[in-house]
């Protein structure tokens, strides 16, 4: 993997690679960190007769495949909100996730439960995804869903679906999904295809990396 594939940041002595595909890679542990995939969200809508087009699950899983093969990750940690809702456990959606798991049989997978997982339930046992409540302590990090300082280490979280608001000369403005690093915790962008964003308001001393198409760019 080359540097062009992402931005590197050192946190508490560990290197993380921030990838333009809205995930972070932790080389020392060969671990891919993925927040908020929200699988089955489109199916949840369809079950309520709201016509969301098909294909979001497949594309989300396809991106995950590509990331695993490109980084050589041996493990994936989902930082919560793996399934969107109970109504989204549609057979087609679960089959697609099973297909992904079958393609990546040797991959170790951990889910740190988030707020949606509580209602949606854990992924089916056959998927061999280990499920734990936050935090998953992996020094120097505490892997969690809700962004908040953690006693166990520097917290890496999801939940917010963060985006940063940018301005420039000539009254330019735009808003892009971002990675947000505060002194005590980091927030990763939402990974799922059918997920929105929420604008966050970083402090001046925070570090923010926006995703501009195929690049990750630090902004100040």
Partner 1 sequence: MSRLTLPDPSSATSLGRAERWFAARGWHPFPFQREVWRAYLAGESGLIHAATGTGKTYAAWWGPLLEWAAEHPDEVLDLDAPIASGPAARRNAAAPLRVLWITPLRALAADTEEALRAPLVSLGIPWTLETRTGDTSPAQRARQGRRLPTALVTTPESLSLLLSRSDAPELFADLRLVVVDEWHELLGSKRGVQVELALARLRALRPGVRTWGLSATIGNLEEAAEALLGVGERETSARIVRGVEPKEVVVDALIPPVVERFPWAGHLGTQMLPQVVAAIEEGDSAIVFTNTRSQTEIWYQAILAARPDWAGRIALHHGSLDRGRREWVEEGLRTGELRCVVATSSLDLGVDFSPVDRVLQIGSPKGVARLVQRAGRSGHRPGATSRVTCVPTNVLELIEVAAARDGIRLGAIESRPLVERPLDVLVQHVVTVALGGGFHPDELLREVRSTRAYSELRDDEWRWTLDFVTNGGEALRGYPEYSRVVVEDDGGRWVVGDAGVARRHRQSIGTIVSDAQIAVQYLRGGALGSVEESFVARLKPGDRFTFAGKPLEFVRVRDMKAWVRKAPNAKGAIPRWMGSRLPLSRALAELLRARLDEASRGIYREAEMEAVRPVLEVQRRWSHIPRVDELLVERVRSREGFHLFVFPFEGRLVHEGLAALLAYRIARLRPITFSLAANDWGIELLAPEEAPLEQAIGEGLFAPSNLLEDVPASLNATEMAKRQFREIARVSGLVFPGLPRSGKTARQLQVSSGLFFDVLQRYDPRNLLLSQAHREVLERQLESSRLGRTLERLARAKIVITTPKRTPPLAFPLLVDRARERVSSETLGERIRKMQLALERAAG
Site size with partner 1, rule: CB under 8 A: 49
C-alpha–C-alpha distance, residues 24 and 151, integer Å? 22
190, β-bridge pairs: 35
Vertex 210, ends 206 and 216: CA angle to 5°? 115
208 lines the binding site for partner 1 (CB under 8 A): yes
Residue whose CB is less far from partner 1, 51 or 105: 51
Contact 81, 38 (CB under 8 A): yes
Give, to the nearest 10 degrees, the angle between helix 91-103 and helix 56-71. 10
The footprint of partner 1 on residues 113-152 (CB under 8 A) is: 116, 119
Residue whose CB is less far from partner 1, 66 or 92: 92
Alpha-carbon distances, residue 8 vs 78, 121, 150, 175, 209 (angstroms): 20, 34, 23, 22, 10
User: Least distance from C-beta 190 to partner 1, angstroms?
Assistant: 11
210 lines the binding site for partner 1 (CB under 8 A): yes
**Binding residue (CB under 8 A) for partner 1 from 3, 4, 28, 50:** 50
105 lines the binding site for partner 1 (CB under 8 A): no
Closest CA to 186 of 54, 17, 5: 17
- Please identify, among the stretches 66-74, 103-111, 139-147, 161-169, the one whose residues bind partner 1 according to the rule CB under 8 A: 161-169
User: Least distance from C-beta 176 to partner 1, angstroms?
Assistant: 8
Contact 47, 87 (CB under 8 A): yes
Where do contacts with partner 1 occur on this chain (CB under 8 A)? Answer: 43-56, 84-85, 87, 90, 92, 116, 119, 164-174, 176, 193-196, 201-204, 208, 210, 212-213, 215, 217, 219-220
């Amino acid at each position: 993997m080359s540097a062009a594939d992402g931005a590197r940041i050192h946190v508490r002595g560990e290197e993380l690679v921030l990838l333009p595909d809205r995930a972070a890679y932790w080389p020392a542990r060969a671990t891919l960190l993925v927040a908020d995939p929200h699988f089955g969200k489109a199916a949840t809508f369809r079950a309520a007769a709201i016509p969301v087009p098909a294909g979001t699950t497949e594309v989300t899983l396809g991106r995950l495949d590509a990331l695993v093969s490109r980084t050589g990750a041996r493990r994936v940690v989902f930082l919560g909100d793996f399934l969107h809702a109970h109504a989204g456990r549609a057979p087609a959606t679960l089959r697609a996730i099973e297909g992904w798991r079958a393609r990546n049989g040797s991959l170790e997978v951990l889910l740190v439960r988030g707020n949606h997982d509580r209602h949606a339930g854990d992924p089916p046992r056959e998927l061999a995804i280990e499920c734990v409540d936050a935090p998953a302590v992996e020094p120097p990090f505490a892997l969690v869903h809700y962004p908040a300082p953690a006693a166990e280490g520097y917290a890496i979280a999801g939940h917010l679906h963060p985006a940063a608001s940018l301005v420039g000369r000539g009254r330019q403005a735009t808003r892009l999904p971002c990675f947000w690093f505060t002194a005590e915790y980091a927030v990763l962008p939402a990974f799922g295809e059918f997920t929105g964003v929420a604008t966050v308001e970083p402090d001046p001393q925070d570090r923010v990396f926006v995703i501009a198409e195929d690049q990750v760019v630090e902004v100040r």
